[in-house]
Amino acid sequence: MPEQSAVPEFDLRPHPRILPMLGEINLPQWSCIAELMDNSIDAFIASMRAGEPLRESEIHVAVPTSDNENARVTVRDNGAGMSAETLENAVRAGWTGNDPISNLGMFGMGFNIATARLGTVTRIWTTRAGDAEWCGLEVNFEELVRQRHFRTPRLTRPKIDPHEHGTEVTVERLKPEQRHWFSRAANRTRTNKQLARVYSAMLRAHGVPVAFRLLVNGAQLHGRDHCVWGGEGNPDREVQTARYGIVNACQPVDVHLADRPFCTSCWQWLPANEENCPACGLSDHVVQRERHVHGWLGVQRFLSANDYGIDFLRHGRRIEIGSKELFFWNNEGVQEEEYPIDDPRHRGRIVGEIHIDHCRVTYTKDRFDRNDPAWEEMARIVRGDGPLRPDKASAQGFGENTSPLFRLFQAFRRSSPKPKVAGCYAKLLVLLDNDRAEEMAKRFFAGEAEYGTDSKWWELVEEADRSLLAPPPAGGDDDDHGLDGFGPSEPGGPEPTDDEGSAGTEAEVPQRTAIPSLTREYRDEVTDQRWEIRALEVSASDTGLGDSSRPWALTATTAGIFEFLVNVNHAVFRSTTMTPLDALLAELAWSAMDFQRGSPSDATFAGVLSGLRARYAGTHQLDPLTLSSEAASTLNAVARSLSNNIDSRDSTALFDELSPTEREAILNKMASRSVGDPQRIISDGRFLEFAPGKTLPIFFERHPELFLDGRYWDTAYGTVDYGESAATEEARSHIVRYYSGLLMDAKWLADQDPNDLADMSRNRLVRAALAVELLAANTNAENE
């Protein structure tokens, strides 16, 4: 019989060396500070839940500004404080006094990882209102390893104010690499920005779930709000869509799901009506948990290649920032991007904040657990079950999608309006000059009050729409474009301001209209000159011009603002190479050179002007990528319009009219796009969307009646009647040749590689670009 061991049990307590080893886990400096802050925030939330919210919750963070041995990191709050027993458990490795659902911080592992990452000695002091003293303890890694146990003495320090309460954590003996990192101002600035963004939802006046002030080295940090149309959470910007009705630029999300059982010991959700945890087999720690998905989605006032996406939050802390995951459709394990797919530079503008407090996060708190069923539930609420593209969703058998992301996608997926008719910029809530939109957004993020609302962006939207109402310049000849009276023509002009039209009142006061697109600050990097410009449209008789023959004038006001007065109807602007912006930039370049006169400088007029144009005239550049994308988008819009104008029998007959080569190419294209029901696409009249580029112009020549008379273009065709059949036929033939020529130019542009377009002559690019612009004009917007 084997001899039994005399040892009654095994002691599996970890060696004290485990604590300093936690510091080897790679946690960014800002995240270390955030871990300590989370426990402070939980104290604020606990007071609020207990019905005793603090009058003004504050967290003070101090980080070193120089590399010396006395450097330390301190996080102090004015929360309710802890008892000695709670303090003892709070810093025990692996222990948490907070459950993983109701709170942000968990002290325990997160606390130990953060403090061990920064330094080797940590002191924690805490006190409650009414306590006679501060209670504290010290975690000294080197001492714990030497003594080979975790016991540490209880510390006390006197308390001056008996009503004082809060907790203070100080990390001392910082590691050399940490001291060096914090000593660099740029690193401290990045840390502050990250903390401000992560806790933005709580650094507001009405923070969610609680509001608090955050001060780092004595300076208060302010959260970074989203620069969205209508103001964050304010749905006062809306557009009318033909298919989905009114769509607000801000879509609220507020869905309460049925409570479900949750094991606070195993941190696992249980199936509904389950009483025992399948992991531990017990019911002692199984509780019913609330599941609430709330927040909003909105449309940013500018397009960006990176700065867009959805923030996902847990108890007010941003866990994932600018996530693009919900913009992809998971098609049998293959991720298909659905947004942004309409912008040639892959820029997006859909943003939002979604709170999912009941979803688990990773221990580093930088990602939600995708294995938690709460994540999938949230995804279905925010984006729906199927693809965001209606045609694709329908082809795959998905029903109606009414999710917030779907509605925003349908109304605002495009980055530029099409067709470009009056009102198109307001309908899409997009600016003609995105560089300008981004520049104003920087001032919004800097906290400048006049950029807090979207009014300045809206002024530019209205100006862009008014420009589409303007008549062609006097003396223009439509024959130059082969129109002979059949092409686009839109009446109207700039809307009056300042009581224009009040005959006989203050006739001596010149009528002036603001030009928001030219009103801004201009800088020249060569001469370091700056001008704050207020641009105004004036008449030829305006005394500010000095002479009726002058097209513009630039004058300084007593307020330090320069007024740029411009007569936009002057003959100098009846040109494809001269605009009011060109005039202003030339004037500023001359002003800069005049300022440099007599001083040693390498600046030249050519250098200054080219620099100003590169910075402020980007919308007038012939960008190959944008041109090619616009051409392809325009041709696709024309092709899509066919489905609105024919029935299934006619559509099949029209498809059969195509040559065998054309039909084969269309079917091959459908196959490459995994179209499930090609015959349905054909009967729906959508086959032109899959046709080679040359097919569309040819098809149009055969059947112009399917695209004119308001079916896609408003240009009259079937109603044209000169009284004699030969004359009528010639007039109609002229219209067909006009649009066919434009389609061929657009096809050429769409077929070119952007790199090859960069080597094309300017005149060839201008011709093709004008063709695309003319195709987008005089269209029936209902077909979009």
Q: What is the pLDDT of residues 236-245, one digit of tens each?
A: 799 988 888 8
Strand, helix or coil for residue 133: strand
For residues 675-684, average pLDDT: 84
pLDDT surpasses 70 at 714: yes
- Domain for residue 227, yes or no? no
Residue 9 pLDDT level (bands cut at 50, 70, 90): low
What's the confidence (pLDDT) of residue 607? 93
**C-alpha of 203 from chain center:** 20
Q: Under the phi-then-psi rule, with left for phi > 0, alpha for psi from -120 to 50, and beta for the rest, what region is 201?
A: alpha
Cβ atoms of 261 and 272 closer than 8 Å? yes
Output the pLDDT for position 265.
Answer: 76
Instruction: Note the pLDDT of residue 197.
Output: 95
Residue 472 has pLDDT above 50, yes or no: no
Query: How would residue 148 be classed by pLDDT, with cut points 50, 70 and 90?
Result: confident
Pick the more confident residue, 778 or 13: 778
Residue 582: what pLDDT?
Answer: 94
Burial 102-136 (b: 16+ CB within 10 A, else e): bbbbbbbbbbbbbbbbbbbbbbbbbbeeebeebbb
One domain, residues 120 and 215: yes
Q: Are residues 588 and 642 in the same domain?
A: no
pLDDT reported for residue 606: 94
Please tell me the least confidently modeled range out of 21-30, 120-129, 223-232, 739-748. 21-30
- Which amino acid is residue 347, in one-letter code? R
In a domain, 372, yes or no: yes
Token representation of residue 757 = 């377009």
- 712: tokens are 């896609």
Domain assignment present for residue 391? The answer is: yes
* Residue 541: burial class (beta carbons within 10 Å; 0-12, 13-18, 19+): exposed
Whether residues 629 and 584 fall in one domain: no
Please report whether residue 461 resides in a domain: no
Confirm whether 473 is domain-assigned: no
pLDDT at 484: 41
pLDDT band (50, 70, 90) for residue 332: confident
Residues 662/695, Cβ–Cβ less than 8 Å: yes
**Domain co-membership, 41 together with 181:** yes
User: pLDDT value at position 473?
Assistant: 45
Asked whether residue 209 is domain-assigned, the answer is yes
| pLDDT at residue 485, rounded to an integer | 41
Copy the structure tokens of residue 554.
């630039």
Quick one: pLDDT at residue 491? 36
Query: What DSSP string describes 590-643?
Result: HHHHHHHTTS-----HHHHHHHHHHHH-GGGS--HHHHHHHHHHHHHHHHHHGG
Residue of higher predicted confidence among 93 and 53: 53
498 domain-assigned: no
Residues 648 and 775 in one domain: yes
pLDDT over 90 (residue 563)? yes
Asked whether residue 475 carries a pLDDT value surpassing 80, the answer given is no
The better pLDDT of the pair 97, 171 is held by 171
H or E segment at 213? strand 213-216
First to last CA, the chain: 89
pLDDT of 308? 97
In this structure, the answer to whether residues 204 and 72 fall within a common structural domain is yes
Q: How confident is the model at residue 166 (pLDDT cuts 50, 70, 90)?
A: very high
The Cα–Cα gap between 29 and 697 comes to: 61
Helix (H, G, I), strand (E, B) or coil at 114: helix
Q: Give the mean model confidence (pLDDT) for residues 554-570.
A: 92
Quick one: pLDDT at residue 482?
39
Q: Which residues contact 33 (CB under 8 A, 6 or more apart)?
A: 61, 63, 73, 75, 114, 191, 195
User: Can you give the pTM of this predicted structure?
Assistant: 0.81
pLDDT greater at residue 531 or residue 777: 531
Helix (H, G, I), strand (E, B) or coil at 236: coil
pLDDT tens digits, 42-69: 999 989 988 988 889 999 999 999 999 9
Which residues, other chains included, contact 603 with Cβ-Cβ below 8 Å and sequence gap of 6+? 526, 527, 592, 593, 596
- Position 15 scores a pLDDT of 60
Cis preceding-peptide flag for 209 (omega within 30 of 0): yes
Span 569-579, average pLDDT: 88
Same domain for 674 and 533: no
What was the pLDDT predicted at 37? Answer: 95
Q: What is the mean pLDDT of residues 91-116?
A: 63
Helix or strand holding residue 235 (H, E) = none
Residues 177 and 264 in one domain: no
Q: Which stretch of 6-10, 59-63, 573-577 has the lowest confidence by average pLDDT?
A: 6-10
Domain identity same for 529 and 628: no
What's the structural domain count of the chain? 4
Same domain, 602 and 695: no
761 or 499, which is more confident: 761
Q: Of 339-343, 388-392, 468-472, which gets the smallest average pLDDT? A: 468-472
What is the C-alpha separation between 401 and 391, in angstroms, rounded? 12
What element of type H or E holds 311? strand 309-314
pLDDT tens digits along 198-228? 999 999 888 889 999 999 999 999 999 999 9
pLDDT tens-place string over residues 400-444: 899 999 999 999 999 988 777 888 999 999 999 999 999 999 999
According to the model, what pLDDT value does residue 11 have? Answer: 52
Q: Which two tokens stand for residue 428?
A: 């899409």
- Residue 421 is predicted with a pLDDT of 80
Considering the chain, what is the average pLDDT of its residues?
85
Under DSSP, is residue 228 helix (H, G, I), strand (E, B) or coil? strand
Report whether 125 contacts 87 (CB < 8 A): no
Give pLDDT, residue 539: 93
Q: Is the pLDDT of residue 376 over 90?
A: yes
Query: For residue 98, what is the domain's CATH number?
Result: 3.30.565.10
Q: Of the residues 188, 221, 254, which one is the last residue of a structural domain?
A: 221
Please say which residue of 612, 640, 663 terminates a domain: 612
Q: Spell out the alpha helix ranges (H) of 356-454.
A: 373-383, 390-395, 404-412, 424-428, 434-445
Of 190, 221, 252, the domain-final residue: 221
The percent of residues above 70 in pLDDT, for the chain, comes to: 88
Least confident piece of the model among 184-188, 447-451, 723-727, 753-757: 753-757
How many of the other CB atoms lie within 10 Å of CB of 761?
8
Same domain for 294 and 199, yes or no, is no
Specify whether 168 is located in the same domain as 46.
yes
Residue 422 located in a structural domain: no
pLDDT in tens, 268-305: 788 888 888 887 878 888 888 889 999 999 999 999 99
Q: For residue 174, count other CB atoms closer than 10 A to its CB.
A: 24
487-517 residue pLDDT tens: 443 333 444 444 444 444 444 557 899 999 9
**CB within 8 Å of 293: residues ≥ 6 apart:** 253, 254, 255, 257, 354, 355, 356, 377, 378, 381, 382
Strand partners, 294: 254, 355
Range of the domain at 111: 18-221
